[in-house]
Chains A and B, each alone.
Chain A
Amino acid sequence: MAGHIIGVDVGGTFTDLVLIGADGVARVAKVPTTPDNQAFGVLAAIAETGVDLAQVRTIVHGTTATTNALLERKLARVGLITTRGFRDVLELGRRTRPNAYGLKGQFVPLIPRELRLEVDERMDAEGDVLVPLDEDDVRTACRFLLERGCEALVIHFLHAYRNPAHERRAAEIALEIWPNGFVTMGHAILSEYREYERGVTAAVNAAVQPVLHRYIGRLSAELAGRGYGHDLLVMQGNGGTVAAGIVAEHAVNTVMSGPASGVMAAAHAGARGGFPDLLTYDMGGTSCDVGLIRGGIAQVSSELELEYAMPIHVPMVDVHTIGAGGGSIARVDEAGMLQVGPESAGARPGPICYGRGGERPTITDANLALGRLNPDALLAVDNRVTLDHVRAVIGETIGAPLGLDTDAAAAAIVQVANARMAGALRMVSLARGHDPRDFALFAFGGAGPLHAVALARELGIPKVLIPARPGITNAIGCVVADVRHDYVNTVNTRVGDLDMDEVRRIVEAQMEEGRATIAREGVEVTDIRHVFEADMQFQGQSHILTVPIPGPLVTRDELRALFARAYWDRFAVDLPEIRPVLVNLHTAAIGRRAHADIGALAASGAGGTPVPVATRRVWFTAGWRDTPIYRRADFGPGTRIAGPAIVEQMDTTSVIEPGCTAQADAMGNLVVDVGRGE
């Protein structure tokens, strides 16, 4: 079926859009995000392309509606019905404090205590009923919560991951009373043990469900009103999409979908460009996100903690975030140590060079002082700020206390920031048993390509990929993402005692549920593939190790061997004397969509060596160098240059260090061969 495909991603500052036309031509749009109702920004971005919505086949939308609602606590009023004796589980948490040192801090539970009610019911750890469900208790509790103005309801019982009968029955009763259908059963969101994590995940789902339902409802209506007649798909944190019609059922799955989109774009571009193993590095204004892709598949984890004591344990693309972005502030502490971040100048006052009143030097200011950013482009923001002023502040606040001249001080800021970011990349690779030298570094975000080559050199990574449009990578992720649904069931049985028929039945049921869901949402897919994983541990452990498995017909011996191998790779420990346990079975059902060709985003210029548009003095490790400045638009497939060089484009600046070469591939990626330096 012909027609245009649109990916539209709402970020903190900008709403980005990519349109891949039926004719193979790409268009992009960037408009300010409208925080009060993100739909306005989305519609404005679509309007900017001038496209006729009747000609659009698919719109895939990445929204921060749920993430922001959580972080800003603009949530629905939620009530809880839980096992007698345990209403405070969601408030008592896991007995933690925000920081290891310092005995202060606040915690506000998602559901206030007066809206957490207990009913008579109890299962034991084997799933046997100890106390039958008191159905009248459930009815009374529902009515009480409705009277108190609750919009959504959570039903969360102990050991429901093992036997969900009471949760199911309570939900049936609740749905007879509850007017809007916003009833979340804990086990249906997450069928794993750990009552706090499962309960919070369910509470998060309930608290964002009405918010997301309203938002997507409004957006769908607006799009329909403008002539759009096909699927609206919504990005999820697992890197896949879900149809707008069912997205609110598991609203929690849309949390953190932005970073996931970026990683999916990377996986797609890498796989097409011949780089199936990637470290992804997304640096924006306030933070940097790093992730890992192996064999073209993004690593997924179920251990997100969105903020202090807010675990969200559904499968999500595993992204590690640190507070190092362009706006991160540099300072010298009272011990005379240079610190960069995590404190950020944000968008306001922002870096000094933005001219919005910022007076503390940031990573962006340091890049400017070193000639890496174009002073003409930035200083256009405000005439009051000059490059000399930026350099003077860096000299005074960083250089003087450290005994460095201004150049060295600015270079020090960049190097310390790079050390922190390299540390984050080590954590997602080395600390998990991967050698970064076996990967290529995929750099995006407004600031990623400024630092990527230096980071690659620090980590021994041989190649850096800079996509055609690094500043709108998340929107590209929307265009290339597949439909995806994840299912996790707790088994918690020693491998030796497993009923392998039961294992097969669980995995097949997960596959069937995936197929049914994809059919129900009615999205056009070319085929459905599956990713199977087993969460395993040695008997007596509490942490798990996730092991890829071949599928429902996995054998007992395979499980043992795969786990032993993964355990050795991760911990270098061999434990033949202890029995392994299969904790969870996890199946991802991935419905492949017909992909738009993102090669359309590549520059169309001819290959060969482009002509620099200017020359600028730029600081590199060995000192100032007269450096050619290129326009990215001139990098058609095959275009090749040698460092030092700066490549500028609307959404980012790429720094090609001395000793490197860079070549544009057919997908529009700039592939940097890092080399050893000079």
Chain B
Amino acid sequence: MTDIDPVTLAVVQSGLQQVCNEMDLAFVRAAFSPVISETLDRSDGIYHRDDGALIAQGDLGLPVFVGTMQFGTAEVIKRAKDLKPGDVYIVNDPYLGGTHLMDVRFARPFFYKGELFAWLANTGHWPDTGGMVPGGFSAKATEVEQEGLRLPPVKLFKQGVMDEEILSIILSNIRIADQRIGDIKAQAAALVVGERRFTALLDRYGRDTVEACIVELRARAEQQMRARIATIPDGSYHGVAWVDSDGVVDAPLKIDMKIAKSGTDLHFDMSGSSPPCQGPMNSVIATTRSSVYLAIKHIFPEVPINAGTFAPLHIADPDGTFLYAKYPRPVSGCAAEVSQRIAEAVFAALTPALPDRLFAAPAGTSGNFALGGSDPKTGRGYVLYLISGGGYGGYEDGDGLSNGCSTIGISKTTPIEVIEQRYPILIERYSLHEGSGGAGEKRGGFGVNYTVSIRRGDARASFVMDHGRTGPQGAMGGKDGGVNRVMVERRGEPDFIPPHLSKDQGIVVCEGDRIHVSTPGGGGYGNPMLRDPGAVLRDVAAGYYTAAQAAGKFGVVIAGDAVDTAATAKLRRG
């Protein structure tokens, strides 16, 4: 027990959280890119002045950034010099504690009464950072230089003043540069909001007290995580997940997750995973670690987040695998896709250990889809960037949610009415992906189908998705969810299915062409033959499954609008 009184500790904890939440809110509400303002693909936090360790993170932060932000801030700190109040570093180098190039980080040293107290940092997904395809999700890149502009930590703001020369370099290397200035100002302003609120907190409670609380909160979070880990029986657990392909070589990539639990520690060994790949599905180490963190946080959501939360998680560097990418390996798929397969492997490994806490695999793909072209009506270029959701896995107490956002995201879809206002396309269909929920006693949730048709001009489509080859894994006897599908229709006829199923780039489409996408359903949980026939009947009435699927997947015979009990019993006896 320390000498901080429990009230002050609780109050400072909520105060730190509020500083971060206000940064989140300011950034989201002032941002221009829908990927930030609607999709919430960003995060804000407070980091330790010496090592970048996470002190607090906003509640609206994208989960995948939970770990990467502290690694990224640590890299800035190592390189920072001659710090002044009002300085803001910009960096997007994946190998320096990052994700992919589109995630651009701002870090601002926070001075209190003239002394460096902490770092305030945020990250935002920019709609474009240059590179070979609009939107940055190249499926075919073989080196990072093809993926876009890479920025080492440089001071974009010096004592509060933007460096117009650095800005001009950036704007000269990215698409649709004219709208970026609003996002840059919003991202920087969020840190100013944080500075104001943090200063008020320190004024109120005093520097030493807040400092002591930060140390104590870190110890408490660690203690809480250890108490959760203790509920896992000691032993070794093993899970595997597969990435469809790297986009260049058409072969699956394996994530081999061995987890050893002893006492209150978890040890993660991914050394049995596939070697580095040619295409952009390599993961940088910060993202690999963060993926394990967020998976554990999904399992134990009640534990607060700071650096202490992750102290009991020991992740061996997966040297020699595609999960520890070194320069110049291409990495655009790591944050959005590989991260989710890593989490899926963690879930698969730990489900037998904690069957009542876990769940079958969620869709686990961000469904990145970028369409870049020019609208002949306005003469202006555009980049449409969509991500999509899918079904979640069933769990002991319920069926999986339909159209949940990715494991690593908390994003909302951009409304169809907004998309159609801004781009020369139509969304012709946005519907539930029937039949995609994995069968189980508790079935998976359903993915979505959408169809994009080109109204005017030519465009190039690129996508980086996953689970096209195998569906999200079922658990405890449940079946896998339905797979992801992409199909291009030209002149009214089905014309093209990408050879790698879920990844391709530079597909030329013209006026009248359509792109059809179906996203994965969640895995089923438990033996589908034990599913309540009444629940199957309701699913058929809603059109989630056909009567034939009810019989085939669940052994339930439906006659008219009722369950044929006798025939069902017979079928289930098999």
**CB within 8 Å of B: which residues of A?**
85-89, 91-97, 99-107, 112-114, 124-125, 130, 158-159, 161, 193-197, 333-339, 402-404, 411-412, 415-416, 419-420, 423, 426-427, 430-431, 492, 538, 540-543, 545, 570-573, 575, 577-578
A-B complex: 8 closest residue pairs judged by Cβ atoms: A101-B301, A95-B389, A102-B301, A85-B429, A335-B220, A335-B224, A94-B412, A113-B542
Within the assembled complex, what's the spacing in Å between the Cα atoms of A85 and B420? 15
A to B CB contacts below 8 Å, 5 in the list: A100-B63, A336-B220, A336-B223, A404-B6, A542-B418
CB-contact partner of A431 in B22, B181, B192, B401, under 8 A: B22
- B182, A95: Cβ atoms closer than 8 Å: no
Interface centre among B7, B10, B432 (most CB of A within 10 A): B7
CB-contact partner of B404 in A89, A103, A193, A540, under 8 A: A103
Closest to B192 in A: A572
A159, chain B: closest CB distance, angstroms: 6
Mark each residue of chain B from 47 to 87: 1 if its CB lies under 8 Å from any CB of chain A, else 0: 00000000000011101000000000000000000000000
**Which of B31-39, B263-271, B274-282 is the contact stretch?**
B31-39
Mark each residue of chain B from 215 to 242: 1 if its CB lies under 8 Å from any CB of chain A, else 0: 0000011011001000000000000000
Given A195-B415, A403-B1, the answer on whether A543 and B10 have CB atoms closer than 8 Å is: no
Within the assembled complex, what's the spacing in Å between the Cα atoms of A30 and B542? 46
Within the assembled complex, what's the spacing in Å between the Cα atoms of A629 and B119? 50
- Which residues of chain A have C-beta atoms less than 8 A from B294's C-beta? 101
Within the assembled complex, what's the spacing in Å between the Cα atoms of A94 and B415? 8
Closest to B412 in A: A94
- A96, B7: Cβ atoms closer than 8 Å: no
- Which residues of chain B have C-beta atoms less than 8 A from A159's C-beta? 417, 420
- A578, B223: Cβ atoms closer than 8 Å: no
CB-contact partner of A423 in B14, B398, B429, B451, under 8 A: B14
- B301, A99: Cβ atoms closer than 8 Å: yes
- Which residues of chain B have C-beta atoms less than 8 A from A333's C-beta? 224
- Which residues of chain B have C-beta atoms less than 8 A from A106's C-beta? 398-399, 401
Closest to A431 in B: B22
Given A159-B420, A193-B417, A416-B10, the answer on whether A426 and B18 have CB atoms closer than 8 Å is: yes
Interface centre among A95, A112, A339 (most CB of B within 10 A): A95
Interface centre among B30, B60, B399, B402 (most CB of A within 10 A): B30
Given A338-B7, A415-B11, the answer on whether A125 and B421 have CB atoms closer than 8 Å is: yes
- A338, B392: Cβ atoms closer than 8 Å: no
Number of residues of chain B lying within 8 A (CB) of chain A: 85
- A103, B432: Cβ atoms closer than 8 Å: no
- A338, B18: Cβ atoms closer than 8 Å: no
- B298, A102: Cβ atoms closer than 8 Å: yes
- A571, B189: Cβ atoms closer than 8 Å: yes
Q: Within B256-301, which residues are at the interface with A (CB < 8 Å)?
A: 294, 297-298, 301
Given A95-B413, A100-B60, the answer on whether A89 and B430 have CB atoms closer than 8 Å is: yes
Within the assembled complex, what's the spacing in Å between the Cα atoms of A195 and B429? 13
- Which residues of chain A have C-beta atoms less than 8 A from B96's C-beta? none
Q: Kindly state whether residue B410 has any CB partner on chain A within 8 Å.
A: yes
- A195, B417: Cβ atoms closer than 8 Å: yes
Given A195-B417, A334-B227, A337-B9, the answer on whether A113 and B543 have CB atoms closer than 8 Å is: yes
Closest to B27 in A: A571
CB-contact partner of B430 in A85, A102, A545, under 8 A: A85
- Which residues of chain B have C-beta atoms less than 8 A from A416's C-beta? 7, 10-11
Query: When A and B form their complex, what is the total count of cross-chain residue pairs whose Cβ atoms lie within 8 Å?
Result: 208
Given A336-B220, A420-B14, the answer on whether A92 and B430 have CB atoms closer than 8 Å is: yes
A198, chain B: closest CB distance, angstroms: 8
Apart from A86-B429, A337-B6, A542-B37, 11 more pairs, CB < 8 Å: A85-B431, A95-B388, A95-B405, A100-B301, A102-B298, A114-B543, A124-B426, A197-B415, A426-B18, A573-B189, A575-B185
Within the assembled complex, what's the spacing in Å between the Cα atoms of A598 and B420? 52
- B14, A104: Cβ atoms closer than 8 Å: no
Question: Dominant SS at the A interface?
Answer: loop
- Which residues of chain A have C-beta atoms less than 8 A from B186's C-beta? 571, 573
Q: Kindly state whether residue B159 has any CB partner on chain A within 8 Å.
A: no
Within the assembled complex, what's the spacing in Å between the Cα atoms of A107 and B276? 40
Mark each residue of chain B from 1 to 30: 1 if its CB lies under 8 Å from any CB of chain A, else 0: 100011101110111001000100110111
Q: Kindly state whether residue B416 has any CB partner on chain A within 8 Å.
A: yes
CB-contact partner of B185 in A105, A114, A337, A573, under 8 A: A573
Closest to B519 in A: A95
- Which residues of chain B have C-beta atoms less than 8 A from A197's C-beta? 415
**CB within 8 Å of A: which residues of B?**
1, 5-7, 9-11, 13-15, 18, 22, 25-26, 28-34, 37-38, 59-61, 63, 179, 181-182, 185-186, 189, 192-193, 197, 220-221, 223-224, 227, 294, 297-298, 301, 304, 359, 362, 388-389, 392-393, 395, 397-399, 401-405, 407, 410-418, 420-421, 426, 428-432, 448, 451, 541-544
- B179, A412: Cβ atoms closer than 8 Å: no
- B417, A97: Cβ atoms closer than 8 Å: no
- Which residues of chain A have C-beta atoms less than 8 A from B420's C-beta? 124-125, 159
Within the assembled complex, what's the spacing in Å between the Cα atoms of A412 and B186? 38
CB-contact partner of A337 in B13, B26, B60, B451, under 8 A: B13
Within the assembled complex, what's the spacing in Å between the Cα atoms of A415 and B34? 40
- B398, A334: Cβ atoms closer than 8 Å: no
- Which residues of chain B have C-beta atoms less than 8 A from A194's C-beta? 415, 417-418
A307, chain B: closest CB distance, angstroms: 15
Given A113-B543, A571-B29, the answer on whether A540 and B431 have CB atoms closer than 8 Å is: no
- A104, B227: Cβ atoms closer than 8 Å: no
- A193, B431: Cβ atoms closer than 8 Å: no
- A103, B223: Cβ atoms closer than 8 Å: no
- A86, B430: Cβ atoms closer than 8 Å: yes
- Which residues of chain A have C-beta atoms less than 8 A from B26's C-beta? 571
Interface centre among A94, A124, A420, A545 (most CB of B within 10 A): A94
- B415, A196: Cβ atoms closer than 8 Å: yes
CB-contact partner of A97 in B13, B393, B410, B421, under 8 A: B410
- A335, B221: Cβ atoms closer than 8 Å: yes
CB-contact partner of A541 in B31, B301, B416, B543, under 8 A: B31
Given A103-B359, A103-B404, A540-B182, the answer on whether A112 and B542 have CB atoms closer than 8 Å is: yes
B396, chain A: closest CB distance, angstroms: 9
- Which residues of chain B have C-beta atoms less than 8 A from A196's C-beta? 415
Closest to A160 in B: B417
